[in-house]
């Protein structure tokens, strides 16, 4: 099936899920569970990621009748994930910021550089794990996922100026941590 | 030693004109800072392409908890709650005003009696 077919297929699944078909929604969960879980892992760490992903899918299911298709389904789902992560993180203040450990798929660096890259990546993940939740959310959405400052501000409920300030501090802290490690 | 222009260049990495640009052109420290900044941006962007497989139990856990869907727009509910709060506050305000006016009227009536 070509990309157009996949798109049509997804539209059909969405229409069925919007009408309350749990099986169609289950198919959508299969398709998006890895990306939603990855985003959750980046935002809140391994400790809460599964809870955030699960809650995000449940919120998406409840809200599906209101999904008008103005944005792509994946974008809508990611926004729900960000909001859920934000809510659960606030609710769960007992948890300190978690390191970004996770069972990531190997994206295939060349064997001779694999060890070096893996070490650099692990250092970067450790450094991200030391950021406070607000700085981390902004850095993850802006620098890892490439969202615009306005999108980040809207989804986190903060001003664009606050986004800039947090991003600046987060980057400075990351650089300082990484320079300390290297 | 880090001069004020180095510090300004570090604070404003996106500014690429005027004195800052001229400074960056010959300052090795700023060039090294820029290189580190670009390298970090590349490393972070690369993380965006990775995927962490979801736990095997996630799908089942979601499907086991699917409840009813809700077509009501939560923004309308929030707006209705805000309106109710305003109406209640106005009601309390009116009641206080009425009590005050009644008290004053009683006092005046007692004074004239």
Q: Which residue has the tokens 């929604």?
A: A25
Q: Which ipTM value was assigned to this complex?
A: 0.78
Burial class of B25 by CB neighbour count within 10 A (0 to 12, 13 to 18, 19+): exposed
Measured between CB atoms, which of A61, A103, A178 is closest to B66?
Answer: A61
pTM of the full structure? 0.74
Closest-CA distance, A93 to chain B, in angstroms, reads 23
B44: closest CA of chain A, how far (Å): 5
Decide if pLDDT at A140 tops 80. yes
Task: Tell me which residue range forms the domain holding A154.
Answer: 114-181
Q: Which of A37-41, B4-8, B25-29 has the lowest mean pLDDT?
A: B4-8
User: What is the token pair recorded at A180?
Assistant: 């300390």
Cα separation of A119 and A113, whole Å?
Answer: 10
Q: Is it the case that residue B1 has pLDDT exceeding 70?
A: no
Task: Give residues with Cβ within 8 angstroms of A137, minimum separation 6.
Answer: A43, A82, A85, A86, A152, A156
The shortest CB-CB distance from B52 to any of A29, A34, A146 is to: A34
H/E segment holding residue A59: helix A46-63
Task: Evaluate whether residue A48 is within a structural domain.
Answer: yes
CB contact under 8 A, A66 and B71: yes
Please report the sign of the dihedral spanned by the C-alpha atoms of residue A66, residue A70, residue A76, residue A79: negative
CATH number of the domain that residue A161 is part of: 1.10.10.10
**Residue in A with minimal Cα distance to B48:** A144
CATH of the domain at A42: 1.10.1740.10
**Is A121 found in the same domain as A81?**
no
Q: How far apart are the first and last CA of chain B?
A: 89
A151 in a domain, yes or no? yes
A125 with A170, same domain?
yes
Residue A107 lies in a domain: no
Q: In Å, how far are A141, B49, B104 from A38, measured between CA atoms?
A: 12, 10, 67
Burial class (CB in 10 A: 0-12, 13-18, 19+), B104: exposed
Mean pLDDT, chain A, whole residue set: 85
Choose among A29, A41, A143: nearest Cβ to B62.
A29
Nearest to A53 by CA among B50, B63, B60, B58: B58
Average pLDDT, chain B: 85
Do residue B40 and residue A66 have CB atoms under 8 angstroms apart?
Answer: no
Please report whether residue A168 resides in a domain.
yes
Residues of chain A positioned with their CB less than 8 A from the CB of B66: 22, 25, 58, 61
In a domain, residue A108? The reply is no
Give the model's pLDDT for residue B69.
80
Residue A103's pLDDT is 54
Task: Confirm whether A40 is domain-assigned.
Answer: yes
Mean pLDDT along residues B15-44: 84
Q: Which two tokens stand for residue A164?
A: 């800039």
Q: Residue A97: inside a domain, yes or no?
A: no
A93-139 tens-digit pLDDT: 655 555 555 555 545 555 566 677 788 888 899 999 999 988 999 99
Check B36 against A179: CB less than 8 A apart: yes
More confident residue, B81 or B61: B61
**Among A26, A65, A144, whose Cβ lies nearest the Cβ of B48?**
A144
Q: How many domains does the structure of chain A reveal?
A: 2
Which residues in B lie closer than 8 A to residue A22 (C-beta atoms)?
Answer: 63, 66
Q: Which two tokens stand for residue A25?
A: 């929604």
B113 C-beta neighbours (distance < 10 Å), count: 5
**Cβ contacts of A44 on chain B, cutoff 8 Å:** none
**How many angstroms separate the CA atoms of B4 and B19, rounded?**
12
Q: Where are chain B's structural domains?
A: 4-47, 74-113
Dihedral, A51, B77, A17, A48 alpha carbons, nearest 10: -10
Chain B residues touching A108 at Cβ < 8 A: none
Which chain B residues contact residue A25 at CB under 8 A?
66
Of A91, A126, A156, which one is at a domain's C-terminal end? A91
Q: A53 vs B58: CB contact, 8 Å cut-off?
A: yes
- The residue of chain B with its CA nearest to that of A68 is B71
Does residue A177 fall inside a structural domain?
Answer: yes
Check residue A82 and give left, alpha or beta (phi > 0: left; psi -120 to 50: alpha): alpha
């Amino acid at each position: 099936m070509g990309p157009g077919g996949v798109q049509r297929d997804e539209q059909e699944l969405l229409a069925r899920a919007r009408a309350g078909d749990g099986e169609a929604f289950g198919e959508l969960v299969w398709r998006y569970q890895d990306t939603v879980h990855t985003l959750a892992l980046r935002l809140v760490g391994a400790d809460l990621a599964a809870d955030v992903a699960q809650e995000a899918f449940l919120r998406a299911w409840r809200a599906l009748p209101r999904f008008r298709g103005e944005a792509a389904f994946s974008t809508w789902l990611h926004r729900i994930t960000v909001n859920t992560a934000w809510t659960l993180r606030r609710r769960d203040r007992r948890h300190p910021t978690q390191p970004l450990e996770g069972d990531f798929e190997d994206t295939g660096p060349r064997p001779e550089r694999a060890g070096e890259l893996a070490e650099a990546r692990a250092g970067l993940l450790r450094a991200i794990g030391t950021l406070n939740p607000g700085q981390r959310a902004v850095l993850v959405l802006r620098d890892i996922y490439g969202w615009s400052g306005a999108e980040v501000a809207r989804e986190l409920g903060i001003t664009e100026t606050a986004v800039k300030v947090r991003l600046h501090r987060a980057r400075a802290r990351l650089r300082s941590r990484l320079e300390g490690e290297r | 030693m880090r001069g004020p222009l180095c510090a300004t260049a570090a604070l404003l990495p996106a500014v690429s004109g005027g004195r800052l640009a001229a400074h960056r052109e010959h300052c090795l420290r700023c060039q090294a800072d820029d290189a580190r900044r670009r390298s970090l941006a590349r490393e972070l962007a690369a993380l965006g392409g990775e995927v962490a497989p979801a736990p095997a139990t996630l799908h089942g856990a979601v499907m086991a908890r699917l409840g009813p869907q809700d077509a009501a727009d939560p923004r309308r509910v929030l707006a209705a709650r805000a309106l109710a709060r305003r109406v209640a506050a106005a009601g309390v305000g009116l009641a206080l005003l009425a009590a005050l006016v009644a008290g004053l009227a009683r006092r005046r009536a007692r004074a004239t009696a």
